[in-house]
Chain A
Amino acid sequence: MSGYPYSKHISGLGALIAVAVILLIPTVAFAVPGSGEFIAHYSGSGREMTELYNLIAKICLAVLIIVEGVLLFAIIAFRRRSDDDRPVQNHGDLRLEAGWTLAALGLQIWIGVATIDVMFSTETPPEDGFDMTIIAEASQWDWDFFYEFPDDDGREPFMHEDLVVPAHQNINLIVTSRDVIHAIFVPDLGIKIDAVPGRNNRWWFRADGPVAQVRAPDYATVGPRQEPYPQTRSARFRNDRYAAADRVVTGLERRVDFLGWTRDVGEVSPYEGYNAVEYQGTCAELCGRDHWDMYFRAVVMTQSSFDRWVDDRLSAVDEPIGEAVYARRCASCHGDDGTGDDINPSLVGADRVINPDRINDHIEIVLQGEGQMQAFGPVLNDAEIAAVINHERTSWGNDGGTIDADDVAALREELGLEPRPFMAAEPTPTDELMARGERIYQSCVTCHGQDGQSYDPQAVPSLAQNEVVVAEEVDELVQVLVQGRDSDQWPGRKSPVARSMTDLQLASLLTYLRGSFGNDAPPVQPIEVTDIRDDLD
């Protein structure tokens, strides 16, 4: 059809440019140095994966160039020159077809074998054993890391919000979850494994320290390929020979400048005083609303710094750094130096901040907010509030005396606020508990009725104004739900419906029961349920 006036302008030359563009974009992108490179450079297993990726990418690139080249050639060479062109027909050729089938098969086997090599070498536990074990526990939407040391070590296990590891040590990472499926992901160290509730997934790695970092920029030229092939697998992970680099590294090297919204990187790092390097860690499996905001710091320290850090954690474990809390929570309005701006008042020399008599006013405004200021009572725990208040009262020339966490707790009680001691789990909002509980309660309505009024109070007790339900202590209610009951008050049999519920589910149900049908008992937090259940067992 040559009936289309514009088409012949486009078809000839256009086809050429088309394919050129199609070819060019990917090729250019591959050609930019480093752009085709994997990010996992800073651990032994990460480097092996990077190498494997590079191998496969090169094979694929070669295949891509062959295919696109043949395509390009065919487009140009075999374009229709006249409408009467009648090409020679052929219907296939067994040799040719067998040829490319076997070639594809061969390439795949090559890639496969190379992969298996890396799989076994990165996943088999190291021959010289693990130096320490860290349990990473995910929850919506945060990470908790539990540090455990070998039995002969003598150091107590403890919990921390970031992943901190010593360099050049075999770290055994056990990953699990408290609620939905998450995935721990530290791109630079090549760590990724799903956190599945009810399962303990394992990943092990051996991170380079801040010193080995020196060779990272020219990694491409000093690749492990030039190493003599090691005798044992685990030896391939030792980069100690690079440790003798010239540069003397002191202090923190930061490779992270974004940690989401709730964990602003700010200017102050809690690891400022250690010889360490910081990476970004995050969650990779969709886990709900704040899936994208589950960042944590993955910090690799020299062994001596790590030991010092552990000692600091164990001794000063209940001292949040006021400066850090201030940077994260307050600096956006009151400014880094506390001077505020047009709208937000300055803290420097403010009466409430420097007057020792008004110390409770200061705590109160932080707890409850005022005007534009947000209430931090539900967000920060007592120790954090004490730390940030102390920071404000002793910085920028202020001298207003200090407080401790007990003062905050006392004031909370006085003001009738929810207690929020240090090291306690984040409370779940009551709205959320009610919403979840309502949904769960739908399984109960056949007996207990939609409005909590039983159809047959002789057989099934009503829940409205039920003394067990609205009792101050929920122990008995939990026991009934978890273990079932057969008693005079409740004749017949109450089945242990809640035995397989999670603490969150059960707490939601309890909160709903206690806050509906005209009941007006306080909500129940999952942590309370956990305690009661522990006692029951």
Chain B
Amino acid sequence: MKEITAKGYLSPLTEEAKTNKLVYLKEWLCSTDAKRIGVLYLAFALVMGIFGGILSLLIRTELAQHGSQIFDPSFYNALPGMHATAMIFFFIIPAFTGIGNFVVPIQVGAPDMAFPKLNLAAFWILPPAALVTFMGFFLNSLPEFGWTAYPPLSNNVYSGMWGADFWVLGLILVGVSSTMAAINFLATVFNMRCKGMKMFQLPLFTWSVVVTSFLILAATPVLTSALLMLTFERLFPGVFHFFNPAGGGDPILYQHLFWFYSHPAVYIMILPGFGVISEVVSTFSRKHIFGYVLMAWSMIAIAVLGFVVWAHHMFTTGIALEARVGFMFLTMLIAVPTGIKIFSWLATMWGGSIKFDTPMLFAVGFIAMFTIGGLSGVVLASVPVDIQLHDTYYVVAHIHYVLVAGSMMTIFAGAYYWYPKITGKMYNEFWGKIHFWLTAIFINVTFFLQHWMGMKGMPRRYYDYDPQFEWANTISSLGSAALFAASLIFVVNMVWSWKSGEDADENHWYGDGVNLEWLIETPPNHHNFHEPPEWKPIIRQHVSPDQPGGLWHAKD
């Protein structure tokens, strides 16, 4: 048999594994090396991302034209919920966890994560959890209540299907997995930093992972408790009535608990993306990040504010006017730290020397389009406007500008950015750029008109709609097909280049990478560093404009 000759952490650990592919595979699947686990996470996320993409295509096919196309309303009703579940819990969050697993230990100068076995366990909970969550597909009893699962619709009377019980169980498992990963990240970053790596020397990606981990730690258990209550109500309908008004319960209580998790979940999905963009913009502009300290604090501010705005998802449920005013102002406040981040990226690019390789293209595309998503968020924060736009396609457009143009594009940016480091090979730059252009264009084609539909009153999760929206829906459906096709280019590029790409350099991006991962060999060795590294602190603080490092300091 051919000998496996991989370098760095990719190389087989034992002599046996060098010739026997099965042993090599087993070494991968049971590895406690954070880098290998990171790759497993990314591979898993890729598969689930394609699955979620196919579900979205099914939705868009049904909606492509007015009238009934291919499904009955019951099956259609299950699709948006399954698509959201697949994308949120099994694509975006694992993808960022994967990138984090690979990059964070190296960036803090640690040989591995703090709890390698916990890390492996956290990953291996995911595939069974996915199986359980989507069990409805095998049992032909998909839950039809969307990903929000509001009772009473989700209780056993109105959704008696077993698939729903499995779905709830699956979500609880995913929560356990992501909590384990979060604990691991926090212990790693707090306790395993190398010499010189103070907290305010950490690269911004690591910072974003720290903040995200705190969000996961504090928010996920609340979802778990809500789902526990829902499960008890579903399984023992005569005894538990937490959300059943006839039994003295309160359906709105579930919404409070659910959104207490699910609003921070939005930041769980976007903050690591912010971190990736900070790294990419800085590298390709050949500049240090502008306003590092404020960038770090603004992430913390977003996280803290993220916990006190959940009720803005519930403006139409009839909560008191005064409470809504409070939640509205807090919601609007989130735009301030987000604005700081956008402007700081712009200021980082300003005066730089910008090279447009694929990661940077995605970063620029992200800034350009995420701004649209952020601003439609400002529109939605205003209570009377939100009430009218609530549960319409405007909201669908908003979340997709934030999650597709936000999270997904940052995942692409991160994947391209660290690809040479992860694989030791270079992806195909030409097809990378094609991928970017198609993605950028078709995101707008797919989602922009949905703003219009929402403003004109097309509610979301509709199986069939008013014929006046048909032309816009058709365009949107065509756009989504093209967007999916573009993503397949990415998949092929990643897989093909791993086998046949050119070899990559250590500090591949023109020698501009400053963080520790660019200072070690490519791909990294099993324990990252040959000897404990030492970080030479770089200027992270503000300086006055005329000082060295200041804004208007004369060029020497």
Contacts and interface: CB of A to CB of B under 8 A. Distances in A.
Does a CB–CB distance below 8 Å link A and B in the complex?
yes
B27 interface: no
Interface in B345-384: 346-347, 349-357, 361, 364-365, 367-369, 371-372, 375-376, 378-379, 381-384
Contacts of A78: 285, 349-354
Interface string B466-509: 11100000000000000000000000000000000010000000
Given A49-B388, A90-B550, A197-B245, A435 B160 contact: yes
B521 interface: no
Contact of A505 (B237, B339, B539, B543): B237
Contact of A87 (B146, B285, B445): B285
Contacts of B551: 90, 93, 96
Interface size class of A (residues with CB under 8 A): 35 or more
B362 to A, nearest CB: 11
B157 A185 contact: no
A430 B440 CA distance: 52
B238 A119 contact: no
A284 B367 contact: no
Interface in A1-20: 1, 3-7, 10-11, 14-15, 18-19
A97 interface: yes
A105 B294 CA distance: 15
B157 A505 contact: yes
A440 B383 contact: no
A22 B339 contact: no
A104 interface: yes
Contacts, number: 378
Interface string B87-124: 00000000000000000000000000000000000000
Given A53-B379, A104-B335, A286-B153, A38 B455 contact: yes
A60 B144 CA distance: 36
B236 A108 contact: no
A300 to B, nearest CB: 16
B390 to A, nearest CB: 7
B458 to A, nearest CB: 9
Interface string A269-295: 000000000001011111111111100
Given A15-B356, A183-B391, A201 B287 contact: no
Contact of B384 (A104, A122, A290): A122
B354 A79 contact: yes
Contacts of A289: 73-74, 77, 144
A22 B77 contact: no
Contacts of B465: 292
A180 B545 CA distance: 60
Given A29-B448, A108-B333, A64 B354 contact: no
Contacts of A123: 321
Q: Which of A53, A90, A202, A257 has the most CB of B within 10 A?
A: A90
Interface in B236-287: 236-239, 241, 244-248, 250-252, 285-287
A1 B152 CA distance: 58
B44 interface: no
A7 B388 CA distance: 46
Contact of B433 (A7, A39, A185): A7
Interface of B: 73-74, 77, 144-146, 148, 150, 152-153, 156-158, 160, 235-239, 241, 244-248, 250-252, 285-288, 290-294, 316-318, 321, 324-325, 328-329, 332-333, 335-336, 339-340, 342-344, 346-347, 349-357, 361, 364-365, 367-369, 371-372, 375-376, 378-379, 381-385, 387-388, 390-392, 426, 428-430, 433, 437, 440-441, 444-445, 448-449, 451-452, 455-457, 459, 461-468, 502, 510, 539-545, 549-551, 553, 555
Given A6-B429, A18-B364, A91-B541, 18 more contacts: A18-B365, A18-B440, A26-B372, A90-B287, A90-B288, A91-B550, A92-B293, A93-B550, A108-B336, A181-B150, A196-B317, A280-B466, A284-B391, A285-B150, A285-B391, A286-B153, A288-B153, A292-B459
Closest 7 CB pairs of A and B: A198-B245, A187-B457, A500-B247, A85-B353, A443-B238, A92-B291, A201-B318
